[in-house]
A and B are shown apart, each in its own frame.
Chain A
Amino acid sequence: MISEAFIPAVASLGSVALTLGLIIFYVSKKFHVEEDPMVTILNDILPGVNCGACGYPSCGQFAEVLVETKDSSMTCPVGGTDLAEKLGDTLGITMAEPKPITAVVLCQGDNDTARETAEYLGIQDCWAATQTYVGPKQCRYSCVGLGSCIAFCDFGAMRLENGLIIIDKDRCTGCEACIPACPTGVIVMQEKKAERYVIACNSHDKGAATKKACDAGCIACQKCVKVCDDDAIVIENFLAKIIQEKCTSCGKCIEVCPTKVNCILLEEDLKEAKQKKAS
């Protein structure tokens, strides 16, 4: 009889299932975690790229901490002002406006201006190259120019042009993922400004040594320091530096720079670029 043969099997398996089911029910009640539905809502609003620019390992963590503390000073640089408004509306608080920052490559030594060391045939990666020698360019402070950082950018803001990394300021969100990816530390973060001058050189060598290695390097000649009316330029360790708070973007320094605009850069007008995009 088939049905009789089934009875013990169904009974035993059924009792096992029932016991396990009860255990699961008990555990789920006993160890229940109360999750704020707000976290899920915020998680949907946040960009979801888990870039870490906010200081938390993921967007989920950011949302949890934000719901818990309602700290209005927490910012997401990727989302910018729009996101800050949305987050504020959802939580019923006024969020601080994030200061938009952008990555800047402090080097202008491309294949035309920087002197080469030797032909490099090894692994085409900045870290691999700098393990064997200074890199394809003579200047040891320069952008190595093999593009290891590109893979680290989640936003497609970096590209390699003529042996030098170029950063697309519209796309860069300032998440800082590229900074640990650079072996020479040539990428820094700066506030996004409509008009901004920056000394795009990283060489702490003395003037003569810099000039020998690169046409676009800062040779610390002091000319820009003397011409600046706002005392916004200082020379530290054979490298000029513009103090952004003091700089009034008058452009006098560009005119006197003997390395011809190469090392002092006027960042593109961000407002204009945005307007162009909108229209």
Chain B
Amino acid sequence: MKTFKTGGIHPPESKFTENTPVELMPVPKELAISLNQHLGKPAKPVVKAGSEVKKGELIGEADGFISANVHASTSGKVKSVKPHPHPGGHYAMTVFITPDGQDEWAEGLNTDPVDWHGFSKEDIIGKIKNAGIVGMGGAGFPTNVKLAPPPDKKIDTIILNGAECEPFLTADHRLMLESPEEIVEGLNIITSLFGGEARAYIGIESNKKDAIETLTRHASSKGIEVVSLKTKYPQGAEKQLINAITGRTIEPGELPFDKGCLVQNIATAVAVYEAVCKNKPLVDRVVTVSGLEIGKPKNIRALVGTSFRDISLFCGNLKESTNQIISGGPMMGKAVYTLDVPIIKTTSGMLFINNVGIEKARERTCIRCGKCVDVCPQGLAPWLLANVAQLREFDEIQLLGLANCTECGSCTYVCPSKRELVHWIKYAKALVNNRQKRKSA
């Protein structure tokens, strides 16, 4: 079974919802659609309070090269445009929409599927750009930019990421079982952009046997290879996935296209298919709602902009003992401090947990056991990075490879001294950035 070379851990999988079919969530009473749902510059609002919008109408326009369009998730009236808490922890400009209950698509959108084979390359990328598609695995990099690498970089390997290595999350798993045709079509569209030579793979962790079977049945006749990967975190990280499937190593400072690779998420492939064949902008996504503190853990298809509060009510409400709510998975997700936070295009899950029983907070000194070095998939020495960060030696920490840390959280997970290794690394990254900003200013 294939896997990446360096490091990795295997936390308890806790995939409670893997056998729960995706349920459609009704339109809530209010939607808060953030204009910052992607990497890069936030979108520019193009609607004002009081304007009527149809479902799929543009409300935020991409501002610059790395940015993405944002669309209304339902039809209704714009209530206001103001800063609002964002699942990333900070505030972002947000368009509030009061739905009219009709959920009516704007003209020409969400049509019956058409054959894409006649479309030119520019057409396809233009449609993806218009639909505001971003990487739905978590980073939110605009897909149209990723699909148009510099002309001197030759892409020969396209990988669809179905690893879903984070515990609890099952959104991609359910999507693979329920819409395999769309995934395969989406992957074919992406592959067609790079000519006939590119090889396509779908990487799936071995704990999703049914998904591997389903996709093999649908994909093998189309020249797509479904690869079964060892169940190991972070198998679904871009660099680790490329290493596992092709054996190539992305060196520090390189991007996947430097080694001829392109990685897309399962959900992104479905969104690409819908945008190209059905002219449907990205307005909803599958979210896993899980954790021991939620009444009914579920996989739901929710509109972008639905608040955590509405979703928790739809899933049987949270118990009183909940003391932490996480947007994303337990390893890389972020704790949110209010239920008013909306879901965005990159929210793959939300967890309601109680961590009172877990020994917490008191960081002890490093005992030099080396566990963090063993598990680091990037081959770094997290204990050293954290120590140097604590000393604020920011020149030295850059030499130690601070920028290569992907913040996967494996080191913090194994540390017997309960050191907040990733947090220290994030702290160092923030201060290094701040210093560079001040220098250039």
A128 within 8 Å of B (CB atoms)? yes
| Stretch from B201-209, B297-305, B332-340 at the A interface | B332-340
On whether A132 and B335 interact (CB within 8 A), knowing A122-B423, A140-B91, the answer reads: yes
Q: In the bound complex, what is the Cα–Cα distance between A165 and B430 (angstroms)? A: 21
What chain B residues lie within 8 Å of A13 (beta carbons)?
Answer: none
Are A133 and B336 also in contact (CB < 8 A) when A123-B420, A128-B426 are?
yes
State whether the Cβ of A131 lies closer than 8 Å to any Cβ in chain B. yes
Do A134 and B89 touch (CB < 8 A)?
A: yes
By the criterion CB–CB under 8 Å, are A132 and B91 in contact? no
B192 → A minimal CB distance (Å)? 41
Please pick, from B360, B361, B363, B430, the residue contacting A127 in the complex, using a CB distance under 8 A. B430
Chain B residue numbers with a CB within 8 Å of A183 are 430, 434
**Bound CA–CA A136/B150 (angstroms):** 43
- Contact between chains at B438 and A128 (CB < 8 Å): no
Within B419-441, the residues touching A (CB, 8 Å) are 420, 423-424, 426-427, 429-431, 434-435, 438
Contact A133/B430 with A128-B423, A128-B424 known, Cβ cut-off 8 Å = no
When distances are taken between beta carbons in the complex, the residues of chain B under 8 Å from A125 are 427
A residues near B431, Cβ cutoff 8 Å: 127
Point out the residue from A123, A205, A206 that lies within 8 Å of B423, measured CB to CB: A123
Interface size on B, residues (CB 8 A): 25
Chain A positions 229 through 246: 1 when the CB is less than 8 Å from some CB of chain B, otherwise 0: 000000000000000000
With A and B bound together, what is the CA distance between A169 and B203 in angstroms? 62
* Contacting residues of chain B (301-336) with chain A, CB-CB under 8 angstroms: 334-336
What A residues does B364 contact at CB under 8 A? Answer: none
Whether, in the assembled complex, B117 has its beta carbon less than 8 Å from a beta carbon of chain A, the answer is: no
Give CA–CA (A119, B434) in the complex, Å.
26
Q: How far is the CA of A140 from the CA of B338 in the complex (A)?
A: 14
A residues near B338, Cβ cutoff 8 Å: 117
User: Are A117 and B337 also in contact (CB < 8 A) when A122-B420, A123-B420, A128-B427 are?
Assistant: yes
With known contacts A123-B420, A180-B438, A133–B334 Cβ distance under 8 A: yes
Contact B91 A131 (CB under 8 A): no
Contacts of A205 in B (CB 8 A): 83
Q: Which residues of chain A (102-146) have a CB below 8 Å from chain B?
A: 117-118, 121-123, 125, 127-128, 130-134, 140
- For the complex, is B368 an interface residue (Cβ under 8 Å from A)? no
A121 pairs with B427, CB closer than 8 A: no
A123's partner among B85, B336, B427, B435 (CB-CB below 8 A) is B427
Q: Which one, A117, A121, A140, contacts B361 given CB within 8 A? A: A121
Q: What's the Cα separation between A134 and B83 when bound, in Å?
A: 13
- B48-87 vs A, CB cutoff 8 Å, 1 = contact: the mask equals 0000000000000000000000000000000000110100
CA distance A123 to B426 in the complex (A): 11
| B89 with A133: CB separation less than 8 A | yes
Least CB distance, A66 to chain B, in whole angstroms: 25
Complex Cα spacing A205 to B82, Å:
10
Task: Report the separation of the CA atoms of residues A133 and B335 in the bound assembly, to the nearest whole angstrom.
Answer: 8
Within the complex, what minimum Cβ distance (angstroms) separates A206 from chain B?
8
Task: List chain B residues, Cβ under 8 A from A117.
Answer: 337-338
Give bound CA distance, A130 to B433, whole Å.
14
Tell me how far the C-beta of A120 lies from the nearest C-beta in chain B, rounded to whole angstroms.
9
Shortest CB distance B91–A (Å)? 6
C-alpha spacing A215/B423, complex, angstroms: 31
Kindly report which residue of chain B lies nearest to residue A140, judged by CB atoms.
B91
A residues less than 8 Å from B435 (CB atoms): 180
In the complex, what's the smallest C-beta–C-beta distance from A8 to chain B, in angstroms?
A: 48
Contact A180 B434 (CB under 8 A): yes
- A125 CA / B392 CA spacing, docked (Å): 12
With both chains docked as a complex, state the minimum distance between the C-beta of A57 and any C-beta of chain B, in angstroms. 13
Q: How far is the CA of A134 from the CA of B435 in the complex (A)?
A: 20
Q: Beyond the given A127-B431, A131-B89, A133-B334, could you list 20 further A-B residue pairs with CB under 8 A, ordered by the A residue number?
A: A118-B335, A118-B337, A121-B360, A122-B420, A123-B363, A123-B420, A123-B427, A127-B427, A127-B434, A128-B426, A132-B334, A132-B335, A132-B426, A133-B89, A133-B336, A134-B90, A134-B337, A140-B90, A180-B438, A183-B430
5 contacts between A and B (CB under 8 A): A123-B420, A123-B423, A123-B424, A134-B85, A140-B91
Interface residues of A (CB under 8 A from B): 117-118, 121-123, 125, 127-128, 130-134, 140, 180, 183, 205-206
